[in-house]
Amino acid sequence: MRSALIVYSKSNKALALKIAQGYKDTDFLTVSGQPGTDLLRFKTDKDVVIGIGGGSAIDTAKVISGRKPAITIPSTASGAAITPYATLWKAGGKISVATAKPILKFIPGIAKSLPAETARLTMLDAFAHAIESLWSVNATGPSRRYCARALRMLMSYIKSKDNDLLIKAGNEAGKAIEISKTNVVHASSYPFTSRYGLSHAAACGKLLPYFVQFMDYAKLPYLMGLESTRQVVSLLRKYSRNIIMPDFKPDRLAGMILKYKRIKDGPRRLAKSDLVYILSRVREDSACKKSPKACRAGDGSI
Read off the pLDDT of residues 61-116 as tens digits, 9 standing for 90 and up. 999 999 999 999 999 999 999 999 999 998 778 889 999 999 999 999 999 989 99
In the prediction, which pLDDT does 92 show?
A: 73
Which residue has better confidence, 297 or 241? 241
Rounded CA gap, 3 and 135, in Å? 43
Give the span between the Cα atoms of 80 and 59, in whole angstroms: 7
pLDDT at residue 287, rounded to an integer: 66
Q: Is residue 159 scored above 70 in pLDDT?
A: yes
Give the tens place of pLDDT for each residue, 5-35. Answer: 999 999 999 999 999 999 999 999 999 888 9
For residues 271 and 277, give the distance between their C-alpha atoms in angstroms, rounded to a whole number.
10
- Which value, in Å, is the radius of gyration of the alpha carbons in the chain? 19
Compute the distance between CA of residue 286 and CA of residue 83 in angstroms, rounded to an integer.
32
How far is Cα 69 from Cα 84, in angstroms, rounded to an integer?
9
Q: What are phi and psi of 8, to 5 degrees?
A: -145, 155
Mean pLDDT score, 292-298: 40
Q: CB-hemisphere CA count at 13 Å for 190? A: 25
C-alpha pair distances (Å), 45 with each of 22, 37, 69:
18, 20, 14
**Given this model, what pLDDT does residue 296 score?**
38
Per-residue DSSP letters for 8-76?
Answer: EEGGGHHHHHHHHTTSSEEEEEEE-S--BGGGGG-----SEEEEEESHHHHHHHHHHHTTSPPEEEESS
H-type alpha helices, the chain = 13-20, 55-65, 116-135, 141-160, 163-180, 184-194, 200-215, 219-223, 229-240, 250-257, 272-290
- Confirm if 30 and 9 have CB atoms less than 8 A apart: yes
d(CA 117, CA 106): 22
pLDDT of residue 207: 98
Q: Measured between alpha carbons, how far is 6 from 71 in angstroms, rounded to an integer?
A: 9
Q: Over the chain, what is the mean pLDDT?
A: 93
Does residue 271 have a pLDDT over 60? yes
Task: Give the contacts of 6 (CB within 8 A, at least 6 positions apart).
Answer: 16, 19, 20, 26, 27, 28, 29, 50, 52
Portion of the chain with pLDDT greater than 90, in percent:
89
Q: How confident is the model at residue 262 (pLDDT cuts 50, 70, 90)?
A: very high
For 108-152, the pLDDT digits (tens) are 999 998 999 999 999 999 999 999 999 999 999 999 999 999 999
The alpha carbon dihedral of 78, 79, 81, 86 has a sign of negative
